[in-house]
Amino acid sequence: MKQKDFRKLGCAECSTACDLGFDFTMAFQPIINCQTKTVFAQEALVRGVNQEGAFHVFKNVNDTNRYRFDQSCRVKAIKLAAELGVHEKSFLSINFLPNAVYKPELCIRTTLNAAEEYKFPKEKIIFEFTENEQITDSTHLESIIQHYQQQGFLTATDDFGSGFNGLNQLADLKTDITKIDMALIKNIDQDKKRQIIVRNLVNLFHELDMMVVVEGVETKAEYHTLRDMGIHLFQGYYFAKPSFESLAEINWD
């Protein structure tokens, strides 16, 4: 990618998709704290403007526009979350593409500008990276996470247990939060092996001083099994599905 593709982008430009040739918006799915019956965070999830799923949007992303798309996602998420008052009660969680960040100290400027412009406190923003994107330079990813933390953002590892790097990555990186992938959660109430794996993962993360979020909880039995392991932060259809450009009603049962 040529250097000119990394030009400074303004918030207004990013909020209109940076001339990507396609537009998109966000849905929000809550991460709940079952102890306090509060919303810990709202995760911004990419959607098409006619409520199409993320796949519809991502099929338009390529090596040429990946950086501009990543910047637009951040600005759109912050702008819409500010309009919905997310920062008044919870964090905003934004997914980022590590392979789109060429220099963290430069690439974060648009995010900082958007937070200032839309009056969204930067300390209320979490940046998630997914293990499903193969990382070819773990040192570069480590520098991104460290820089974001130095700027006052929280960081999270998404989809732990389903990706490319697993425990090797865990040994090198120190995110504030780890989200356990739904592949380990499905039918956990009926699966002793999954219960043993998740229970030990939770103990490991706590020893590493990381917060734990469980993703993909879809049934009451799964929820109760995980809650009994001492887990407090949950996300999944059992509590609320992603809500298009709005905040969902939550099942607190």
Which has the higher per-residue pLDDT, 30 or 147? Answer: 30
pLDDT at 129: 86
For residue 116, is it within any domain?
yes
pLDDT value, residue 2: 41
The verdict on residue 211 lying in a domain is yes
In the prediction, which pLDDT does 59 show?
93
- Cα–Cα distance measured from residue 220 to residue 52, given in angstroms and rounded to the nearest whole number: 28
Per the structure, the count of domains in the chain is 1
Residue 48 lies in a domain: yes
Do 56 and 25 meet the contact criterion of CB atoms below 8 Å apart? no
Taking the model in full, what pTM does it have?
0.89
- The CATH number for 201's domain is 3.20.20.450
Residue 179 lies in a domain: yes
Res. 4 pLDDT band, cuts 50 70 90: very low
In 3D space, the residue among 73, 174, 67 whose CA is nearest the CA of residue 125 turns out to be 73
In 20-175 the beta strands, taken as DSSP E runs, fall at: 25-33, 38-47, 91-95, 125-130, 154-160
Which structural domain range is residue 240 located in? 3-244
Predicted pLDDT of residue 107: 78
Neighbours of 54 (CB within 10 A): 15
250 part of a folded domain:
no
Please report whether residue 221 resides in a domain: yes
Q: Could you tell me if residue 202 is left (phi over 0), alpha (psi between -120 and 50 degrees) or otherwise beta?
A: alpha
Residue 252 lies in a domain: no
Is 137 domain-assigned? yes
Per-residue pLDDT tens over the stretch 198-248: 999 999 999 999 999 999 999 999 999 999 999 999 999 999 999 999 999
